[in-house]
Every structure is written in structure tokens, then in C-alpha cells.
Amino acid sequence: MEPRQEQLVSLIRRFGDAQIVGAEVGVLHGETSAVLLREFPELTLYMIDPWQPYPQQTADTISRWGAAQHEAAFQKSIKATKFAASRRIILRPVGCSASAPGGLDFAFIDAQHDYDSVSSDFRFSWPQISGGGFIAGHDYDNPGPSTLEVKAAIDDFGAEVNRPVHSGDGYVAWIDKPSRKD
Ligand SMILES: C[S@@+](CC[C@H](N)C(=O)[O-])C[C@H]1O[C@@H](n2cnc3c(N)ncnc32)[C@H](O)[C@@H]1O
């Protein structure tokens, strides 16, 4: 397991054996989706990714991918999570973010890494998170050239919703949604 996946697994353990619904925003080859679906047999997971060329190039190598490379990644993600076909819900939004209808126990944001994209993915998903759940983002404080803006975007979002940002292993940061009794 990669450090980001270990960190997510440890965050999701808070739900115990309950039936839970989560979302991964930015799925690529489905490696993290597969880990989560395998670790948590009671998890239903929204796998959200357009698997389409980006509207503009960024420092992120994936932004230079053509349609065929994205389609190959999509096919790989389908194969990687086939064992949990009844518990995965694949959404391929075009030109916008997508989120699950109804409540999510958690969302893992790992799509485009520029400031505006991270901010809007957090803003869009946060209202979908139920009390006691969390929203997490990848590449927080990762010094790589394509991820430099992630920390500021997540810190600013934390300030916006008046919640502390926690950071853990594998460049994962998260914000807990208070439960009603908090
Ligand atoms: C860094 S990769 C994801 C890696 C994956 N989370 C993992 O842990 O293996 C980024 C992915 O985000 C996707 N993406 C780009 N824009 C998106 C958007 N607006 N919503 C969801 N996913 C997006 C890309 O197609 C790409 O597959």
C-alpha cells in the first residue's frame, strides 16, 4: 500500500463496520479506489474522473495526455475494481466537478492540483459530507512543481469553513466535519 492509501485507510477506520459511502475525485488507474474497496467491504465508492484531456496544460504531466491515454487509464480502473463492481459507482463528468447525490462519509480529492481546482473540488464536496465524516486532499505540502498550490488551497478552505486542517502521511491532509454533538 502507498503511504497516501495507508493514511486514508486509517482515517476511514473511524467508521468501524458501518455501511459507508465515499468518493474519490480523480481516480486515474483506480489503484486507490481498489485499495479502499478491498479494505472496506461495507464501502460504496463513487469513482469520479472525466478521463478526458484537460482544457489546458499545467505543470502536471497528466494535463498533456491525449484521449487515448485517458481512456486506457479508465479501462485500467474498471479492471482494478471489477471485484467490487456492485459497490463502485463510476461518474465521468464533462467540464465540471461531480459529486455524489446525498451524503458522503468521506471524499478524497486528488484531481487537478492548481489552486482554483483544489478550492472548487473542496467547496463542491464539503456540503456532501455528513457530520462525523471528513474531506481529504492529496499532495498537501508536496514540494513537487505541479503541487505547490495545494497547501494554500486547502489551508484557505479550512479557514473559510473555520475548521482545522490536519496533515498526515503520504501528503494527505484532511478536515473533519463536526458531528451534531460537537
Ligand atoms: C493524480 S491522478 C489521481 C490519482 C489517484 N487518486 C490515485 O490515488 O491513484 C489525477 C486524476 O484526476 C483526474 N481529473 C482531472 N480533472 C478532474 C476533475 N475535474 N474531476 C475529477 N477528476 C479529474 C485526471 O483525469 C486524473 O486521472
65 is a domain residue:
yes
Is 137's C-beta closer than 6 angstroms to any atom of ligand 1? no
Is 172's C-beta closer than 6 angstroms to any atom of ligand 1? no
Inform me whether the pLDDT recorded for 182 exceeds 70: no
Inform me whether the pLDDT recorded for 94 exceeds 90: no
Going from the Cα of 47 to the center of ligand 1, the distance in angstroms, rounded, reads 10
What type of residue is 35? V
8 is a domain residue:
yes
- What is the pLDDT at residue 181? 63
The count of other CB atoms within 10 Å of the CB of residue 64 is 11
Are 62 and 54 in contact, with CB atoms under 8 Å apart? yes
Number of domains forming the structure of the chain: 1
26-58: burial string, b at 16+ Cβ within 10 Å, e else: bbbebbbbbbbbeebeebbbbbbbbbebeeeeb
171 is a domain residue:
yes
Summarised one tens digit per residue, pLDDT across range 42-84 is 999 999 999 999 888 888 899 999 999 999 999 999 999 999 9
Inform me whether the pLDDT recorded for 102 exceeds 70: no
Q: Give the CATH number of the domain where residue 23 resides.
A: 3.40.50.150
182 is a domain residue:
no
For residues 143-165, give the mean pLDDT.
95
Cα 161 to Cα 85: distance, rounded to the nearest angstrom: 35
For residues 135-161, give the mean pLDDT.
96
Containing domain of residue 111, as a range?
3-176
181 is a domain residue:
no
Is 48's C-beta closer than 6 angstroms to any atom of ligand 1? yes
For residues 2-12, give the mean pLDDT.
98
Cα 106 to Cα 108: distance, rounded to the nearest angstrom: 7
Percent of the chain residues topping a pLDDT of 90: 86
Summarised one tens digit per residue, pLDDT across range 11-46 is 999 999 999 999 999 999 999 999 999 999 999 999
Q: What is the dihedral of CA 147, 153, 155, 156, to 10 degrees?
A: 160
42 is a domain residue:
yes
Would you give the DSSP letter of residue 177? P
Cα 175 to Cα 155: distance, rounded to the nearest angstrom: 10
- What is the pLDDT at residue 95? 58
150 is a domain residue:
yes
